[in-house]
Amino acid sequence: MRRANKPHASTGCDRQATRHLKLRAISFVAAASLSLGAAAQNASKPAAACSKPVYLTFDTGHMAVAPLIARVLKRHEVKVTFFAADEPTKVGDGSLGNHWAPWWRERAAEGHAFASHTIDHTYWRADAGAGRFTVRPSAGPRAGQTFEVTAPQYCAQIDASNARLQSFTGVSPLPLFRAPGGKTSPALLAAAKACGYQHVSWANAGFLGDELPSDKFPNRVLLDKALRDIKAGDILMAHLGIWSRQDPWAPAVLEPLITGLKARGFCFATLRDHPSYAAWVSAKISPPPQTLQSTQTPSPR
């Protein structure tokens, strides 16, 4: 019969090795904690300031290229401002119809900004006097008709687009608008401003030319001109699809435009950060609820 093995007695070497292992474990945990703390601190730091910003904006269009544009923007981490009207589309029930609601919701989740382009894409044609304007919408129930509206009726066109955007995205649109075609008058701008909206046009170099005929202005020509002429601070303007252009501008020009501008040291921001509009936006849009709660004086017990 074999004898049972006796328990191995601890030696001084064993105790020393155990202590060494414990010290190594403690050091590892401490180092990991420091690394996590540093990572959290870095994550909370704001991004480096953009010294050569440009402000890319898109007006609605037939929307067929909208998914392609969204993928390019996401791939290059570019944030833009969308000006939305409820225009006819190649697919779905209008650019602000329910078919496109998920698309708008996804753009909000990615951090893009939104503003009004008037719900019926309503062109200003002339001042009619006494606070009235002659307009001609290209969408909606009165598309193609020319008629007069009052200042409140024109503001209702801006409001309706914003209401639709907010219902889709849960995000407050910016208190900005872009008149279709950029066509305005001092009286129209004053009326819109009295309703809480500031107008946004675009820079001369920022007209990206996607609505021009492609036989006279091919994509290569438009890209070269943009890369040559755009300068820091410019507002750029293109569309989510142009019916008349045979050779689509997006995404053929959009991607090399983004990479080319970045290679030249430019960066992209939304109009909420534009120096001409930031103070107006900040004054008109309420801070989020948690900010309001944090600034309230506690009630006495």
Residue 26: the pLDDT is 38
Residue 286: the pLDDT is 67
If phi > 0 it is left, if psi is from -120 to 50 it is alpha, else beta; for residue 209 that is left
Residue 199 phi/psi, 5° resolution? -85, 145
- Amino acid letter, 279: A
* Residue length of the chain: 301
Q: What is the pLDDT of residues 279-300, one digit of tens each?
A: 999 999 865 444 333 334 333 3
* Full DSSP string of 47-91: PPPPSSEEEEEEE----TTHHHHHHHHHHTT---EEEE-----SS
Say if residue 251 is preceded by a cis peptide, omega within 30 of 0: yes
The whole-number mean pLDDT for each consecutive block of 10 residues of the chain, a chain of 301 residues, reads 38 45 39 34 44 97 97 98 98 97 98 98 97 98 98 98 98 98 98 98 98 96 98 98 94 96 98 97 73 36 31
The answer to whether 241 and 220 are in contact (CB under 8 A) is no
In angstroms, the Cα distances linking 242 to 26, 161, 216, 276, 286 are 64, 20, 15, 28, 35
Residue 277: the pLDDT is 98
Q: What is the pLDDT of residues 252-283, one digit of tens each?
A: 999 999 999 999 999 999 999 999 999 999 99
User: Cα–Cα distance between 274 and 126 in angstroms, integer?
Assistant: 29
| DSSP 3-state of 176 | strand
Please name the residues in contact with 51: beta carbons below 8 A apart, sequence gap of 6 or more.
232, 265, 267
Domains of the chain (ranges, CATH numbers): 53-283 (3.20.20.370)
Residue 137 phi/psi, 5° resolution? -75, 150
Nearest-10 crossing angle of helices 254-263, 219-229: 20
| DSSP 3-state of 280 | helix
User: Cα–Cα distance between 119 and 228 in angstroms, integer?
Assistant: 35
- Amino acid letter, 269: A
User: Cα–Cα distance between 272 and 57 in angstroms, integer?
Assistant: 12
User: Cα–Cα distance between 251 and 106 in angstroms, integer?
Assistant: 19
Which residue from 195, 163, 170, 173 is spatially nearest to 96, judged by alpha carbons? 163
